[in-house]
Every structure is written in structure tokens, then in C-alpha cells.
Amino acid sequence: MTGKKLKLTLWILTALFLSSVSLSSQTSQAPPETVLHCATLWDGHSNALQSDVTIIIAGERINAVHTGKPAPGAPSVLNVTGTCMPGLIDVHTHVFLQQDAISPDYDGQLLKQSVAFRTMRAVRSAQLALEHGFTTIRDLETEGAGYADVDLKKAINLGIVPGPTMQVAGRALDVTGAYPLEGYAPEVEPVLPHGVQVIDGALDFRKAVREQISYGVDWIKMYADRDVWMDGDTLHGIPTFTVEEATAIVDEAHREKHRVACHARTTEGVQSALLAGVDTIEHGVYMTDEQIAQIQKRGIYYVPTIWDIDYSAQRRHSSELAKQFQIARQTLMRAMKANVKIAFGTDIGGFDWQITPAKQMETFVAAGMTPQQAIETSTRTGAELMGISADTGLLQPGQFADIIAVSGDPLKDVTAVERVILTIKHGTVYKAASN
């Protein structure tokens, strides 16, 4: 190599090295800071509000929380006149299901709306969740839209569309003849879509669990009962799975390090869930005292979607649903007395996404919880159920900046959480919908 070529080569290598050093120094710089000054703040575990608190957000996470105003010259100060608190968590949602004035009934959504159109509606549902102050949700099946929830979660994580942090269940599991679409002609029904993945037999259920996990679901969901009827103050139903089938679902999911959410509204459904060893019981409208004791002993999470029953009873003028609400309320009160881990899930999608799911906290308070206890079912317990308590649920350094601001004192008036004026998720600021 000539001296001139050697010099040129050394010059190019030096330039590349300096460029890489410059790029490295740029990427290692501290993320930009956002400073939030709150008139009052609830940190997620204290028994009273703090006044005049500053939160420093670096990138996606909380860097510091201290009393007093921001330091002079602090960048991007956002002054909040309301109460700052942790973002809310709803652990039982259905973003692909709509119950508003422009949507057809359940059958119409599955038969007349494409998955693409339903996904567009789901994007809007996710955005509404954020506006209501829910920075995290667990979406428990797409009701016939396959694994579109997996892609929606990806799109949110990539910043393509706004939405809460999501864990998803894809297609729930049920047996032949137990879940809509039903009631169509025998020649037609086999080719119709279903709201769930229809399976029969323990081996095929194991295969279905493996399939769902391979497509990216976070949870496996199963339906443990159907054809509900009341007998006095109890609720009964027909178990869907054999013990062998239910056990196969849970065993296969746990073997692959996934957890199982179980729809169980009746004493028979809850018993099937307990025999199988599920991780969460959804709805649990009626459970015996013995079943409640087992749930508490095993550390199973109970997700009572109680507000939706009351809302539906009033909207449909249904005395049967009104009675079910009373049964569900008594079950909730017995579970509270037994110190069962109660997490906040609403079944939204079963009611209009324009309604804030936070209204269920009023129902919890009416059943005997303090406002703080009701809110903590959504923040701390919701995060624990989803396995993300190291990252969210409290306002403290190191956690994601999942922060909302509400109008009023939520520890005295739980309806304050229905008046969200600001939502911040992972450090990104969103303006809440007006109420």
C-alpha cells in the first residue's frame, strides 16, 4: 500500500471511529425530562394526599418525586390544579366489542363487520380507555376477531396508535354448543364464526393452548359455565368442561409459563375453576363460603364485574338481572370479609366505551370498601394480578410514568376518578376527554 493510500485509509478509519463515538455519546445521553407540578398528589399507598408536589419524568419513567415547586428554569413544567395519582388498570376489557348506538348486536358484529373494521373500532376503544385514565388493561378475548388484539398491542407498543399498555388473551376456549354464534340452522352453523375457539377433548385443548401462545397471547381464557339460572339467592349453571379438559388447559398453560383467566359466574363454574387450578376467576356472581375460602387460601384473584350487571339491569328493565346484581353484591361483600384479593375489571365492551369504567368504584364503595380500597383494586392489585407491579401502580422513582390527574380528592370522594383531566402513559402526555 502506498503512503498516500495508507493516509487515506487511516483518515477514513479515524472518521468512522469519531462518528461512532459521537453516535454513542448521543444515544447514551439522558432522556429528555418533563416536570409535573401537582397541587395535590396521592402516591398509591399513603392514606392522605400530599400538597405541592413535583414529579420529574425522564423518558418513560419517574425519576424523582419531591415536595415543593420545580427548580427555577426546569424544562417543560406542566402545572396540574387537580390531584395526581397512579394510572388506573382494568383487568377485564373487550376492545373489539361495542355496545354503542351505531353498532349492531353481537351477531351483527361477528357476521356483518370485517375484522379490519372491528380493529378500527378497537383502536378507538383503546384511545377512550386512555382518556378515561386507564393506562393499562388486560383484554380478555376478541369475540371473533382472532388474534387482532396481539397486533393492536404491538401497534400501541410501537407508538403507531395511542392506547394503554395491554395484555391480551386472543381467542377464549369453550366447547361445542356453549358460546355464540348459536341458534342458526344446522347446515349453516358449522361455517359461522364463533366468539371463542371451539374445542372438545383434553388433547385438543392442549394443542389449542400451544397454538394461542405461539400467536402471541399473554393469557389463556376459558369459559367454565353456561346456561345460568337462579335458585333463591344462589346462581347455578352447566359446567362446560370435563375435569380432564379443564385441568389440561391449565396444566398446559402453566407448563408454558402462562396464566389462566376463567369466566365462572356460578357455583358449578367456580368449582370447575378451582379443580383446574386457574389464576383468576372472572365475574364470580355466586360463590359459596367454602369456595371463597379456597380462593383466599390459594391466592387466586377475584375479578367481580359487578357494575355492568347493575347497568344492564337498569337499561333493560330486567328484574332477573337486578336479582343477579344483588347476588353478586352479596358475594363481593363476603369475599371482602374473607380478605380475597379483589382486582378491578369491568367487562367494558359489554357496555359502551364512552362510559368510564371507573364508575364501578362507586359500586365497590357502596358494598363497604373505602374510596382508597376501591381505587387500589385498580392500581396496586391490578398491577399485581398482571405481574407488572415493579413497573406501575404507584407514583415512585423507577416506575413507569403512568400518571393521571383528577378533579377533587379521590380518597374522600371516589367519583373523582370519573373526572380525569390528564393522562400520562409511559411519560407521554395525553389530554383526557371532557366529562
Task: Dump strand ranges (E) for 356-415.
Answer: 403-406
Spatial separation of the C-alpha atoms in residues 169 and 263, rounded to whole Å: 13
| Domains of the chain, residue spans | 28-87+394-435, 88-392
Query: What secondary structure does DSSP assign to 17-60, as a single string?
Result: HHHHHHHHHHHTSPPPEEEEEEEEE--SS-SS-EEEEEEEEETT
Give the pLDDT of residue 72.
Answer: 83
Secondary structure element (H or E) that encloses residue 252, with its range: helix 243-255
- The pTM of the whole model exceeds 0.85: yes
Spatial separation of the C-alpha atoms in residues 351 and 125, rounded to whole Å: 12
The CATH architecture annotation of domain 28-87+394-435 reads: Roll (2.30)
Q: What does the CA dihedral 152, 155, 161, 165 come to, rounded to 10 degrees?
A: 70
CATH of region 88-392, choose from 3.40.920.10, 3.20.20.140, 3.40.50.720, 2.30.30.60 = 3.20.20.140
Give the pLDDT of residue 30.
Answer: 53
User: What are the beta bridge partners of residue 376?
Assistant: none
pLDDT in tens, the chain (435 residues): 444 443 434 343 344 333 333 333 333 455 678 999 999 999 999 999 999 999 999 999 999 999 999 988 777 789 999 999 999 999 999 999 999 999 999 999 999 999 999 999 999 999 999 999 999 999 999 999 999 999 999 999 999 999 999 999 999 999 999 999 999 999 998 899 999 999 999 999 999 999 999 999 999 999 999 999 999 999 999 999 999 999 999 999 999 999 999 999 999 999 999 999 999 999 999 999 999 999 999 999 999 999 999 999 999 999 999 999 999 999 999 999 999 999 999 999 999 999 999 999 999 999 999 999 999 999 999 999 999 999 999 999 999 999 999 999 999 999 999 999 999 999 999 864 443
Give the pLDDT of residue 12.
Answer: 36
DSSP-derived 3-state class of residue 65: strand
Give the pLDDT of residue 11.
Answer: 43
Give the pLDDT of residue 28.
Answer: 42
Spatial separation of the C-alpha atoms in residues 390 and 23, rounded to whole Å: 31
Give the pLDDT of residue 364.
Answer: 98
